[in-house]
Structure 1
Amino acid sequence: MKAGRALWTWVAACAAGAGLVLLAAGRDWVTVTYGARAVPVSAAELAPALGPAAWAALAAVVAVLATRGLWRRIVGVAMALCGAGVIAAAVSGGRPDAGLAIAAEHAPMAAKATDVVQIAAPLVWPVLAGAGGLLLLAGGVVAALRGGRWPGMSERYDRQGPGREGAARASAGGAQTDRELWDAIDLGADPTADPEGEIPAAPRENREKGGGGR
């Protein structure tokens, strides 16, 4: 796989991982029922690190595109740490009894009034968050190990320009062409007669006169 294609495949995978984490971070993970009252507990309460870690990973994706060399590897390590943090938060917040204490704080009267407690903790959201964290972890490791081979954003503009040496040669060539054009005009040549824009040759007798005058 070419370096440019590998880079954009990596960007898509990391963006998908961060999207999964953000999707799971906006849902209720646990619902505790006290008799007839249901108390939902959100992911923001069970795993508050999910949202910040996902946004930090997205910022790291942009940083990888904007940096090269050692800095790109450092950003890759930071992204891997974000992914590991997401996985740990998903495992900790996805436990069935993780939201029991938080639900009791939300409804203390209901928690004291009944001993019948039901806990519903679907695993779909913690699993999605863990999968997103795994993608971010893998993306960070890949960026740290292989990111130095990927092209940078500035290389596109570097390839388009002629460079300093090329510009200097073009400038010198342009100056020499202008000088030849004015010399041909001084010797009686008509530069408008050539549709191709090439420098016309001066008439022979005018060149001889010009050469003789010099």
Structure 2
Amino acid sequence: MRRAAWLWAAAVGAGSLLVLWSVAQRWASADMKGMPAAYAEGGMVAGGLQAVALAALAGVVAVLATKGAGRQVVGAVIALCGAGLAVLVWRGVTDAGLSAWARGEALLMGLSGYTYTVMPLWPSVAAIGAALVLAGGVAAVVRGRSWGGMSARYRREAGPSEVKGERAIWDAMDRGDDPTR
């Protein structure tokens, strides 16, 4: 494979891993009267991030294993994963998403009043990861055909070869050919 394909794979893989890393970090806190603060991890306020990031990571392997139009189709799926990640991150830090989470936390604790605060570092990291995945998917669609395929070094040849001589018979058997055909 060409160097460009490996650089692409590293960028998209890094984007997916950034999202996966940020999902387990604190994205928001809710302060409730008379109780210690409750904290929300990314997966609590932006459900689905983990699954979509894992799908994008699997897509990296699929792009490296395919060629031609198949590679472009997988690249399009990766681009859709990147767009989906961006939407999920955005929904996770909007007032509606955070308010629903904080209200749920307050109800679980039997309280009625709460205020919430967004911690911007980890949603920003997830957004950067989503942007890398989206850009990588688009790059695979546009440039993926020129990356070349996996090596054919260990592929078995289609049919048996003609074998002459005792040494050639042993060599054919070592290759997996049947010299009696």
Q: Which has the higher helix share?
A: 1
Q: C-alpha offsets along residues 148-201 of structure 1, whole Å, 9 cap, x if unaligned? A: 11122243446xx8x679x84xx56x54x99xxxxxxxxxxxxxxxxxxxxxxx
TM-score (norm 1): 0.69
- Give the Cα separation in 2 of the matches to 1:152 and 1:133: 26
State the 1:26 CA deviation: 1.2
- Give the Cα separation in 1 of the matches to 2:153 and 2:29: 52
Aligned pair count reads: 166
CA RMSD of aligned residues (A): 2.5
Extract structure 1 runs of 4+ deviating beyond 4 A.
Answer: none
Q: For 1:186-201, list aligned pairs within 5 A.
A: none
* Residue identity matched to 1:142: A
- Give the Cα separation in 2 of the matches to 1:104 and 1:94: 15
Q: For 1:47-196, list aligned pairs within 5 A.
A: 47-95=46-94, 98-108=97-107, 109-112=109-112, 114=113, 117-157=114-154, 168=161, 171=162, 174-175=164-165
State the 1:96 CA deviation: 5.2
* 5+ long unaligned stretches in structure 2: 169-181
State the 1:45 CA deviation: 2.3
- Give the Cα separation in 2 of the matches to 1:88 and 1:144: 21
Contact 1:30/1:96 (CA < 8 Å) preserved in 2? no
TM-score (norm 2): 0.80
State the 1:97 CA deviation: 5.8
1:16 is aligned, of 5, 14, 17, to 14
* Residue identity matched to 2:56: A
Change (3 A) 1:148 1:64: same
Larger Cα-atom Rg: 1
Percent of aligned positions with the same letter in both sequences? 37
Q: C-alpha offsets along residues 13-62 of structure 1, whole Å, 9 cap, x if unaligned? A: 01100010001111221111112321222221211121011100111011
State the 1:107 CA deviation: 2.6
- Give the Cα separation in 2 of the matches to 1:57 and 1:156: 28
- Give the Cα separation in 2 of the matches to 1:142 and 1:78: 12
* 5+ long unaligned stretches in structure 1: 179-214
- Give the Cα separation in 2 of the matches to 1:30 and 1:18: 21
Q: C-alpha offsets along residues 116-157 of structure 1, whole Å, 9 cap, x if unaligned? A: x33221111111111101100011111111111112224344
Contact 2:102/2:116 (CA < 8 Å) preserved in 1? no
Q: Give the 3-state SS of the residue equivalent to 2:97 in structure 1.
A: coil
Q: Give the 3-state SS of the residue equivalent to 1:99 in structure 2.
A: helix
* Residue identity matched to 1:134: A
Q: Give the 3-state SS of the residue equivalent to 1:31 in structure 2.
A: strand
